[in-house]
Chains A and B, each alone.
Chain A
Amino acid sequence: MNQYLGERVIDNPLLVFPDIVSRILATLDDAEASLGVLVDFLDNEPDVMSRMVLLAEQSGLKYFEISNSGDLISLVGASRVRRWLLIDSIAAFARGHRYAGWEDFWRHSLATGVCGEELALYCTGGILPEMALVASLLHDIGQLGLFSRHVSGYLGGRGDAREGDAREGDAREGDAARPEPDFSGVDRAALSALVCQSWGLPDRICLAIRQQDAPDAASDDPLGCLLHVANVLTNALDLDGGEENRVTNLSSPACEKLGLIGGGSGARLDLMPVFGRITARVRHANILFL
């Protein structure tokens, strides 16, 4: 079933991923090229530019005049604009699907994304925060594909995405009475990785998403470990407000790979310094992007 579902998810005409995400990720190690990508995109996408100006105003910069991409980047800072663009693009993409549970999906993804980015800044794993942000935002993306009518109809359940009319209405008439599709037995991590692979996202991200539920056996790349810890903290701190949030395991090898414990100094786990910042950032991200 996994392979069939994977093909159906990837073949979904609604799942057209925003190209800007890949362009940003491809230039992270080249400051000049990265800036060029931001300026080029903002200058050619006036709607996005307007949203970025709005985000700047909502972030306390409303007394400054922002008339072009140069003003925006200079005032807000390139790294924050890059982060806003990544989240805003993926938010618009997720919002376009409008299946009945997309808000819960996006709330959880956004919280995990912010948490992953903060962890990348805090730990010593050498992970670029933007890479952590995208991997964490997309760690459950297969679920978005599963719930589209394109796929869930196959499972006999409700499918709320309106193909060809994804902007209007949240659910099709009569959907509430239909059963939730049965996704038991579906490997969501593998499915999410498959979707990311089909979009041409970096192998690091695809592998990390595939390994997120098996952090003890994860590769040498700490990104998968970071996804695991970000998911644990999202639940532990109730960052997405989910009533069913539970924590059953925090992988010691994953913490070690991230430099959160052990190593030469025999460090003891200390996440207290980041709890306040993560909570505040998620609260603010919810205002901007939910």
Chain B
Amino acid sequence: MKTRTHVINLTEAVLEMVLAEPVDAVNSGIQSQLFPAGHQLTEDSLLQLALSHIEFISILEPDYRSSAQVAIDAAVAAHRVMEIFSGADLSNPVMAVLFDQVLTYRSTQ
């Protein structure tokens, strides 16, 4: 199954979601890993995340869209990004990198 990565607030997390990235917690200045990437959320892990003051997690979300829909969504996102950057000087290397990154991010959301 196709998946995509999505950052969500802990309130949006539900059982059996899969972490896309490890979750670290800091206790008394010491950083330690709470859960590794690939961990499937359980009631216990959700409680532990809340009590560790974790607010946001990155999860792998099933992507049920057809290939055609993915292409349409990406095109709509790209059109909007180009509109936003229409007055930007993309010969400026920093602007060009920002444009690329925003385009990549928004096209894959």
**Hey, which bits of chain A sit against chain B, CB under 8 A?**
58-61, 75-77, 80, 232, 235-238, 245-250, 252, 255, 261, 268-272, 275-277, 279-281, 283-284
* Residue ID in chain A nearest B85 by CB atoms: A247
Contact A60 B10 (CB under 8 A): yes
Chain B residues in 8 Å Cβ range of A236: 81, 84-85, 98, 102
**Hey, which bits of chain B sit against chain A, CB under 8 A?**
5-11, 13, 50-51, 53, 55-56, 58, 80-81, 84-89, 92, 94-95, 97-98, 101-102, 104-106, 109
Chain B residues in 8 Å Cβ range of A261: 94
Contact A250 B94 (CB under 8 A): yes
Cα A195 to Cα B101 with chains together (Å): 36
Partner of B56, one of A76, A247, A268, A280: A280
Contact A276 B7 (CB under 8 A): yes
In the complex, 17 of the A-B residue pairs with CB atoms within 8 angstroms, ordered by the A residue number, are A61-B50, A80-B55, A232-B98, A236-B81, A236-B98, A238-B80, A246-B84, A246-B86, A246-B87, A247-B85, A248-B89, A269-B97, A271-B98, A280-B56, A281-B9, A281-B56, A283-B9
User: With A236-B85, A236-B98, A280-B8 given, can you name 11 additional A-B contacts, CB distance below 8 Å?
Assistant: A61-B50, A237-B102, A237-B106, A238-B80, A246-B86, A247-B88, A269-B98, A276-B105, A279-B109, A281-B9, A281-B55
Chain B residues in 8 Å Cβ range of A248: 87-89
Contact B53 A272 (CB under 8 A): no
**Distance between A151 CB and nearest chain B CB, rounded to angstroms:** 30
Cα A249 to Cα B89 with chains together (Å): 7
Partner of B9, one of A61, A235, A247, A280: A280
Cα A77 to Cα B8 with chains together (Å): 19
**Distance between A164 CB and nearest chain B CB, rounded to angstroms:** 39
If A276-B7, A277-B7, A284-B9 touch, whether A247 touches B84 (CB-CB below 8 Å) is: yes
Chain B residues in 8 Å Cβ range of A284: 9, 11, 55-56
* Residue ID in chain A nearest B80 by CB atoms: A238
* Residue ID in chain B nearest A270 by CB atoms: B101
Cα A89 to Cα B19 with chains together (Å): 34
Contact A280 B88 (CB under 8 A): no
Partner of A276, one of B13, B58, B89: B58
